[in-house]
Amino acid sequence: MNETPMDPTTPNVAENQALTTRVAVVGASGYSGEELVRLLLGHPYARLTAVTSRQYAGKSIAEVFPRFASHPRARELRFSDPNAELLAREADVVFLALPHGVAAEFAVPLMNAGCRVIDLSADFRLRSAAVYQEFYGHEHPAPALLEQAVYGLPEFYADAIRETLLVASPGCYPTSILLPLIPLLRDGLIQPDGIIANSLSGVSGAGRKADLALLFVECNESLRPYGIPKHRHLSEIEQELSAAAGRPLVIQFTPHLVPVNRGILTTLYVQPAVSVATEDERQAFLGMVEQSCTAAYAEAPFVRILGEGRLPDTKNVVGTNSLEFGWKLDPRTGRLLVMSAEDNLVKGASGQAVQSLNLMCGFPEAAGLL
């Protein structure tokens, strides 16, 4: 009855074991996996019971990620080889932080064994196996699961996330684009056509891999576009924006690599659906934008609306699960600019996955994330 233990700002350990959920992370050696481990070690209602990595099997979390070594659990828990059967015995919910294509292989046996799965890869984000094949270049490994999977954007799919056995947690770029645009498209305030998303990403977004192009000396003091014009994330962005608009749409998406460890800044160029030729029309339109966003995120703990004229900065969100966005209407061009900032590893990956965990398990949505 007492709701106090569920207050996310003053987390309480579960008084009885029933309130604690056993969680595992498969593929915990990359940047997203590491961030997941950080969040789960500090989570008040989840207990990390397994972490897997072929490369680190046998080592403790503290050895692999010294920054967590002060945490007692990090000194106890050792990496194991990934084994679905064993994991299913040790965990109630399993996070998959694996490369695209590999995640599906693990999801099936885990779900068969009764686990709930939160997948951070792109394997289950698309509803259509054909679109998957178009963008990822190979057949979908488990098309039967696509219908079952829920796109893990808690601000819009909370009810489905609560019920599902399989969450497909969104990509980092998509999150930075979808949260600012879905309300405006749903409410018919902007034109579905002609949207441009210009994004800047920190280098952790490229993953922890020994690639010359990702060396310090190659990235520091370097600014570069890449993945143009058909980045894989386009597929899920267009899927979700189309759903919001109520009809298919195509967008322009341009990612850039910039020398920060973390953070995505997205600048969106959109056309109002109404005339903004006069000052009165502009004020009316801006009022509707404000209202649309405010209403959409009234209950959302992690979406911070900066409003008209206030601009985001990734340093305000790095290390947090928040996405902030603001906008500006340009009277000279009639365009609305919407700009968002998030941490690609938290709201763009692991934090958002934990938000889904909270919904799935009936925890406060912000548990472990403030």
Residues annotated as part of the active site: 172
Which residues inside 39-98 make contact with a copy of itself, applying CB under 8 A? 42, 44, 66-67, 69-73
Distance, first Cα to last Cα, the chain: 24
Closer to a copy of itself by CB, 15 or 81: give it: 15
Which residues inside 326-365 make contact with a copy of itself, applying CB under 8 A? 328-330, 332-333, 335, 337, 339, 341
Which residues inside 228-257 make contact with a copy of itself, applying CB under 8 A? 228-230, 250-252, 254, 256
| Using rule CB under 8 A, residue 137 touches a copy of itself | no
Which residues inside 194-233 make contact with a copy of itself, applying CB under 8 A? 194, 196, 198, 200, 202-204, 208-212, 214-226, 228-230
| Using rule CB under 8 A, residue 141 touches a copy of itself | no
Using a CB cutoff of 8 Å and minimum separation of 24, what contacts does 75-83 make?
A: 77/48, 77/49, 77/50, 77/51, 78/51, 79/28, 79/51, 79/52, 79/53, 80/50, 80/51, 80/52, 81/52, 81/54, 81/57, 82/26, 82/27, 82/52, 82/53, 82/54, 82/106, 83/52
| Using rule CB under 8 A, residue 140 touches a copy of itself | no
Which residues inside 165-194 make contact with a copy of itself, applying CB under 8 A? 194
* CB of 145 closer than 8 Å to CB of 124: yes
| Using rule CB under 8 A, residue 4 touches a copy of itself | yes
* Residue found under tokens 């934990």: 354
| Using rule CB under 8 A, residue 297 touches a copy of itself | no
Strands (E) across 251-334 are located at: 252-257, 264-270, 303-308, 323-330
Task: Return d(Cα 232, Cα 243) in angstroms, integer.
Answer: 18
Closer to a copy of itself by CB, 147 or 220: give it: 220
| Using rule CB under 8 A, residue 18 touches a copy of itself | no
Binding test (CB under 8 A) with a copy of itself, winner from 90, 267, 288, 307: 267
Task: Return d(Cα 248, Cα 241) in angstroms, integer.
Answer: 8
Least Cβ distance, residue 30 to a copy of itself (angstroms):
11
